[in-house]
Amino acid sequence: MKLIKFIMNVVVFTGGNGNANLIKHLKGLSYVNLSLLINGYDDGLSTGVIRSANQGMLGPSDYRKNFTYILDDFTDYNRNLKKLFEHRLSEEETRVLLHDPDELIKNLIQEHYALDRRSENFITRYFEFGSQKLLNFTHNFSILNGFSVGNIIIGGIYAETNDFNLALYLLTTQFELTAKIINISTADDSKLVAFDGDGNFLANEADIVNYEGNKPLSEFYLLPLDELNALDKQGNYNKEEIERISKIPSVSKEALKALKEADLIIFGSGTQFSSLLPSYRICKNAILKSKAQKVLIVNNNYDNDIRNIQFDEFTRKILQEIDQTKIDFFDSIIVDTDSVIKPLKEIPNLTTADVADPTGKHDGQKLWTWINRSLDIKSGEVPVLISFAKNTEEFIKDYYHNEMESLNSDPTRVIKFYQTGEKEASSYTLHLDASGKVSLYEIDAWIRIMQLNQLDAVIGSRFESRRQLINSFKHSIVESNLIYLFALITSYWVSLIYFIRFWRIMPDPLSGIYLIKSKHDIPYKNLSYFLKKINRKKNFEFVSLPISYRTFKKVKILTKIKNVIVNLLGLYV
């Protein structure tokens, strides 16, 4: 039996803004273990000043932005922390910074962004460190005006550790983030340079991002800081000269681990030449060794560095960084229906769909839906047979019936739900023997997880979901706190009795929500019978996965207690 704490390991190559909505959606999914792979070659505006003030440091801006995306916002303290990290200093605040950074951060926290004591101590400490390093470098008001508070804090952590990856680790562990923020390189002080389509040399990342030409850039290089400083900034260099002094930094052990363990690698949208292509070059070998499925997300719009680029060249530049020539290297390529970067011919594994929000940016939920659909599209229809227990209340069945009709009416869906008698053969059977309702949409993800991990069955558990616990206490599901706590305590006793019976640890085994591959052909007489059957099968692998679960007031608590007792006794009879 497998016990999997993190179910689907998803790695996203990203920059600062291009995948924000997808990341915000993924970080909220209980079955996703999310890792964000980012490079730090940004050196424009305040980021460039921070890097100069902290020699050897990488640019913190993209890490700061992703930090705010994945920080839980269930509390006022966390919401204030996000705002504080994104806060830019006003003219008056910049004057205070110049003579008393300690007073500035205390005023910001006390008057605008109240934090819990632990966070306040952490932020105050490293803002003071970062400010001291910054003011040792410059007191120029125009340079410091508008500085990001979050960048100063990250600079302060680096000033203490002198190790950028360690600084990231301290930041992420301090605030218990729901995803990992990983720098792709190690011992790296590189600066990014490039050549435009006419062969002109662009001496820094800021010039790349703000490039105004009509052609996409042609090449980029990573230069060690000392080599870049030795260049004549007004010099007219050619590619051969720059390539000779360029290097490929070593990939970090954190990035290697994430890619090795990945089930799915997403090559995100964003600024290609600064945010993404350098990451692919550095991680090339780890990408090629990975057995994960690979999905490419095509930009919806041009960025300055890829203005007027065609689809073939867009994909070629990415494939070139990982020594590939065939586009079917990607298991799926997602292009929005209104994207300006579209193929002119049929492409293997291409999915064109509406994945944008009203502003033209990627919609996180739509994008994730189409990623999963596109990966399953080769299999054709995946029928799921829903089997209701005999004692299931009719009003619960009605809720499922309406949802089944809604999901099945979508012609783009591969997964279809049927009730007993509607379909002769099915790929999966979903047994429902519970006094509440789960979202059938979540079953899509379960099927994906079973495919990735070669599982035979899944047992649903709302008690493994931290979000379920918080929502329960906020009355987002219709049961009292007292009933939920009673159910939670009961589930631990049930798990103990289940362990004594089968010598297997399984959270919430009597949930009554089971997805099983139909090929096993295990009849469902009742809950206890089913559990005994699957526990007796050799080489049968199943896990308990978190799931959102909605209970109903119509079901009496005494009835629920009776069912638990009967099912527990049934495990021993």
Nearest C-alpha neighbor of 429 from the set 383, 385, 392: 385
- DSSP element (H, E) containing 93: helix 91-99
What amino acid is encoded at 458 in this protein?
V
What amino acid is encoded at 533 in this protein?
K
Is-contact 196 309, C-beta < 8 A?
A: no
Q: By CB neighbour count within 10 A (0-12 exposed, 13-18 middle, 19+ buried), where does 529 fall? A: middle
For the chain, 573 residues long, give each residue's pLDDT as a single digit of tens: 343 444 689 999 999 999 999 999 999 887 788 999 999 998 877 888 999 999 889 999 999 999 999 998 878 999 999 999 999 999 999 999 999 999 999 999 999 999 999 999 999 999 999 999 999 999 999 999 999 999 999 999 999 999 999 999 999 899 878 899 999 999 888 899 999 999 999 988 888 988 988 999 999 999 988 888 888 767 789 999 999 999 999 999 999 999 999 999 999 999 999 999 999 999 999 999 999 999 999 999 999 999 999 999 999 999 999 999 999 999 999 999 999 999 988 888 899 999 999 999 999 989 998 898 788 665 567 888 888 877 776 777 888 888 899 889 988 787 899 987 787 788 899 988 877 778 888 888 888 888 767 788 888 887 655 455 545 444 444 455 666 666 667 777 777 877 778 777 777 777 778 899 888 888 888 878 888 888 888 778 888 888 777 666 555 666 666 777 776 777 777
Q: Residue 569: beta bridge partners?
A: none
Is-contact 208 305, C-beta < 8 A?
A: yes
What DSSP assignment string belongs to 520-544? G----S-HHHHHHHHHHSTT--EEE
Is-contact 178 72, C-beta < 8 A?
A: yes
Q: pTM of the full predicted structure? A: 0.74
What amino acid is encoded at 226 in this protein?
D
Digit-coded pLDDT (tens) for 247-273: 999 999 999 999 999 999 999 999 999
Extended beta strands in 252-349, E state: 264-267, 293-297, 332-336
